[in-house]
Amino acid sequence: MYPTDALMLSCMLATYMRKGPAVVVVTFILIFSGCIAPTVDTLSMNQSQEPELPSEPCNGLLILCLRTYDNVTFPETHNAFSTHQDGIYYPASNHQTGLDAQWNAGMRAFMIDTHYENLGDERVETVRLCHGDDDRGFSPCTYGNVDSVNWLTNLRDKMEQNPRDIVTLLVENYVQVEHLKAVFELSQLYEKTYIHQANSAWPTLQELIEQNTTLVVFWEQGEDDSHPWIHDFLTHSWTTNYAEQNTEDMNCDLLRGDIEQEVYHMNNWLRGPAGLSDPSRGDEANDVDFLIERAKECWQQHGKRPTFIAVDWWEDGDVVAAAKAINELEDWQ
């Protein structure tokens, strides 16, 4: 064997030992008295690059695009449909104005209740949005109701016009699950729903947008494996207490759900006479400074910002401004 052949074999052997037996292509450069082996591993190039920030904002802020869903604070209306504008009046109402005004102001999370218009008449056509329960022997839709398909279709239209906004619905459901699915299909919202695997990492807002799954749906009725698009509220999230008598009574402790979950609701409305929502103290409950300070307290206590700030009488105070301020903070301090 000539010396140059031995040198070449030595170089080849050394290169293979460095790269391992799984190397597919190896480039050798023989330069007379020595060899130069590749020093750049092309298989790992670009793997450490951080994703680029999109040029368009997500839910109004560029900084939210690369945040995971659970690390964003969304302003939320409690019983969003139950408004004077929708023909539901106090004591059954929770707001003055309906979905159009709420959306235009920046609300992107909505609590709704689904009932049949009349007990015993269980059809898709009779599914309504109504505030209350069936315990009195008649449907709470007696106090006023909103057509579920029309309301959800209106929401779908707004989402189509704002494709870079992530929307959340929390449903207190009193209808058959197949009928609930049907009204989502009729409103063409079902195709936008995101399916989350319990105890897995939540995607970023940008990922939800790219997948065209910009609607996250929770409900309070328990896990249903046959309908994974509806996430059990108490399995995938948790909530603070609600309807305290005074703002001083509000805290960040667990009321129900799984406190190990990253998603949680900071409920923030006051009760008045007979335990009903108090329309006279919306300004107090929804004061921007109060909401920010309370959210920071919850952040400090639980290690993360609230996912939702849920309010009544949203027109009072400014929960949207408070949520924006919380989203712009790096930490609670």
116 Cβ partners below 8 Å, 6+ apart? 122, 123, 126, 127, 128, 139, 141, 174, 175
Residue 55 lies in a domain: no
Would residue 51 count as lying in a domain?
A: no
Domain that holds residue 40: 3-44
Q: Are residues 134 and 275 in the same domain?
A: yes
Do 192 and 224 lie in one domain? The reply is yes
Residue 55 CA to its chain's centroid (Å): 22
Can you give the CATH number for the domain in which 264 is found? 3.20.20.190
Residue 248 sits in the same domain as residue 313: yes
The pairing of beta strand 109-116 with beta strand 74-77 = parallel
Count of beta carbons in the 10 Å neighbourhood of residue 297:
16
H helices of the chain, in order, are 3-19, 99-105, 148-161, 177-186, 205-210, 233-236, 282-285, 288-302, 319-328
Q: How many domains does the chain have?
A: 2
94 shares its domain with 28? no
Residue 52 falls inside a structural domain = no
The pair of structure tokens assigned to 138 is 């008649």
pTM of the model: 0.85
**Coil, strand or helix: which one is 81?**
coil
Q: For residues 181 and 273, what is the distance between their CA atoms, to the nearest angstrom?
A: 36
pLDDT string in tens for the chain (333-residue length): 444 444 343 434 344 333 444 433 333 333 334 444 444 444 444 444 667 888 999 999 999 999 999 999 999 999 999 999 999 999 899 999 999 999 999 999 999 999 999 999 999 999 999 998 888 788 999 999 999 999 999 999 999 999 999 999 999 999 999 999 999 999 999 999 999 999 999 999 999 999 999 999 999 888 888 999 999 999 999 999 999 999 999 999 999 999 999 999 999 999 988 888 999 999 999 999 999 999 999 999 999 999 999 999 999 999 999 999 999 999 999
**Whole-angstrom distance, CA of residue 184 vs CA of residue 191:** 9
Q: Is residue 277 part of a domain?
A: yes
Residues 6+ away with beta carbon under 8 Å from 303: none
Distance, in Å, from the CA atom of 240 to the CA atom of 172, rounded to the nearest integer, reads 17
Please, which residues have CB within 8 angstroms of residue 65's CB and are 6 or more apart in sequence? 53, 54, 57, 58, 204, 205, 206, 209
Phi–psi pair at 142, nearest 5 degrees: -60, -30
Helices (H), 61-211: 99-105, 148-161, 177-186, 205-210
Instruction: Provide the b/e sequence for 98-118 (b: ≥16 CB within 10 Å).
Output: bbeebbebbbbbbbbbbbbbe
Alpha-helical regions (H) of 170-242: 177-186, 205-210, 233-236
> Rounded to the nearest 10 degrees, what angle do helices 148-161 and 177-186 cross at?
50
Residue 46 in tokens: 């670009």
Shared-domain flag, residues 83 and 186: yes
